[in-house]
Structure 1
Amino acid sequence: MIDTDATDRAILAALQADATLSAGQIGRKVGLSQPACWRRIKRLTDAGVLGGYRIALDLERVGFGVTVFLGIKLAAKGRTSISDFERAISAIPEVQSVHHVLGLYDYRLRVVARDLGDFERVLRRRIMTIQGVGDIESNVLLSEERLPGPLGHDLA
Structure 2
Amino acid sequence: MSGLDDMDRALLKALARDATQSAGALGRRMGLSQPATWRRIRRLYDAGIIEGRRLDLDAEKLGFGVTVFLGVKLATKGRVSLEDFERAVTAIPEVQTVEHVLGMYDYRLRVVARDISDFERVLRRRVMTLPGVGDVEANVLLSEERRPGPL
- Runs of at least 4 residues of structure 1 off by over 3 A? none
Aligned partners of 1:15 and 1:23: how far apart in 2? Answer: 10
- Which amino acid counterpart does residue 88 of structure 1 have in structure 2? A
Contact 1:94 1:111 in 2 (8 A): yes
Report the alpha carbon displacement of residue 98 of structure 1 after superposing the two structures with TM: 0.4
Q: Does 1:96 align with 2:96?
A: yes
1:31-64 Cα deviation digits (max 9, x unpaired): 2111110000001111111111100001101111
Aligned-pair distance for 1:148? 2.1
**Structure 2: where are the runs of 5+ without partners?**
none
C-alpha offsets along residues 2-57 of structure 1, whole Å, 9 cap, x if unaligned? Answer: 42111001111111111111111211232211111000000111111111110000
Report deviation, 1:73. Answer: 0.3
CA distance in 2, matches of 1:98, 1:72: 10
Question: Counterpart of 2:17 in structure 1: which amino acid?
Answer: A
Distance (Å, rounded) in 2 between the aligned partners of 1:15 and 1:65: 29
Match of 2:51 in 1: 51
Instruction: Indicate the residue corresponding to 2:7 in structure 1.
Output: 7
- Report what 2:127 is aligned to: 127
Unaligned runs of 5+ in 1: 152-156
Task: Give the letter for the 1:75 counterpart.
Answer: A
Instruction: Name the TM-score, length of structure 2 as normaliser.
Output: 0.96
Distance, in Å, in 1 between the alignment partners of 2:149 and 2:104 is: 26
| 2:86 aligned with 1:86 | yes
Q: Secondary structure at the match of 2:67?
A: strand
Matched pairs, number: 151
What whole-Å deviation, never above 9, does each CA across 1:56-97 have from its counterpart, x for those lacking one? 001101111111000000002211211000000000001000
Distance 1:145 1:114 in 2: 21
In structure 2, C-alpha distance between the alignment counterparts of 1:115 and 1:31, rounded to whole Å: 49
**Which aligned pairs between 1:1-156 and structure 2 lie closer than 5 A?**
2-151=2-151
TM-score by length of 1: 0.93
